[in-house]
Amino acid sequence: MERLQKVIAHAGIASRRKAEELISQGRVKVNGTTVTELGIKVSLKDQIEVDNVPINQEEPVYFIFYKPRGVISAVSDDKGRKVVTDYFMGIPERIYPVGRLDYDTSGLLLVTNDGAFAQKLTHPKHEVDKVYVAKVKGIPEKQQLRPLSRGLFFEGVKYAPARYDILSADTKAQSAIIQLTIHEGRNHQVKKMLQAVGLPVQKLKREKYGNLTLGNLRPGEYRPLHKKEVSQLLNLAKN
C-alpha cells in the first residue's frame, strides 16, 4: 500500500506537491469515488483516475516485437484471430501495440504499457521515420516513383513526401522490391502510396522504426528495449 499522492507522482502525472493539490481540488477518484483526503493509501488493485483519466500503476515496460503476417495489431479480436498479445503470455503487464501494422504486414512493432510513450510516438506531429520493404507487382520506371518523394493525393487522402529506393526487380516474375521511408502513420499508408503510382503491394514488412531494427529477432519473437533505446525513440519523437 502506498499513499495516493505518491502513486500519482510515481505515475508521472504530477510532482508529489501537485498531486496533493489535485486531490484537494477533488480531481482524483479511487475506484470511482472522488477522494479529497490526503493521507489515504491505495494498492495496485485500486483504480485511480485523475480528471477521469485512469492512471497506470504498473512499472512501464517496452518491447520490440517481430510481428508475423496473419496477426492482428491488437490485444483481442472478436473474430478469434491471433493477436499481438498472444505472443506475450508470460508478461503480466497490460501491454498493447504502439500503432498498427496490417494483418498481412509483418515486421517491427513496439509494444508497451506506457500510454504517454505510445501517444508521443504515434502523434502525427512527432512521427518518427519508419522503413518498409514492399514487394510490388510490376517493374517500376524511375519517373513512375517520383510522386512518392513529392507527396501525393490518393482517394482523398494527402500523403507527405517519402524516400524510396528500388532494391531489386525480377523481370521474369514482373515484380520489384521497393524500400519506402515514411514518417506518418496513416491507414495502409505504404500500400496506398504504392497503389497510387500503379504498383500494387503483394507483400509488406516494416524493417526499421527510428533507429531500431529487428536485428536477430525472428517472426513471433520479442525482446525488451534497453533504456537507451526508449530514450532515443522519445528524443526522435520530440524532434
Among 13, 110, 190, 237, binds ligand URA (CB under 6 A): 190
Residue 67, class by beta-carbon neighbours within 10 Å (0-12 exposed, 13-18 middle, 19+ buried)?
buried
DSSP reduced 3-state for 229: helix
Q: Would you say 112 or 189 has its CB closer to ligand URA?
A: 189
Nearest to 223 by CA among 75, 57, 88, 59: 88
Nearer to ligand URA, 5 or 85 (CB): 85
The minimum distance between CB 49 and ligand URA, in angstroms, equals 33
Does residue 79 contact residue 29 with C-beta atoms inside 8 Å?
A: no
Catalytic residue, from 46, 102, 165, 170: name it: 102
* Nine cell digits for residue 66: 517481430
- In which element (H, E) is residue 48 found? strand 48-50
Instruction: With H, G, I as helix, E, B as strand and everything else as coil, classify residue 26.
Output: coil
Reported residue count of the chain is 239
13 versus 190: smaller Cβ distance to ligand URA: 190
Span interacting with ligand URA, options 22-30, 83-91, 184-192, 214-222, rule CB under 6 A = 184-192
Indicate the pairing of strand 105-112 with strand 201-209. parallel
Known active-site residue 102: yes
Residue number, 101 or 197, with CB nearest to ligand URA? 101
For residue 182, the minimal CB distance to ligand URA (Å) is: 8
Site for ligand URA in 67-106 (CB under 6 A): 101-102, 105
Kindly determine how many residues on this chain lie close enough to bind ligand URA according to the rule CB under 6 A.
Answer: 8
Catalytic site positions: 102
Q: Write out the residues near ligand URA by the rule CB under 6 A.
A: 101-102, 105, 188-191, 204
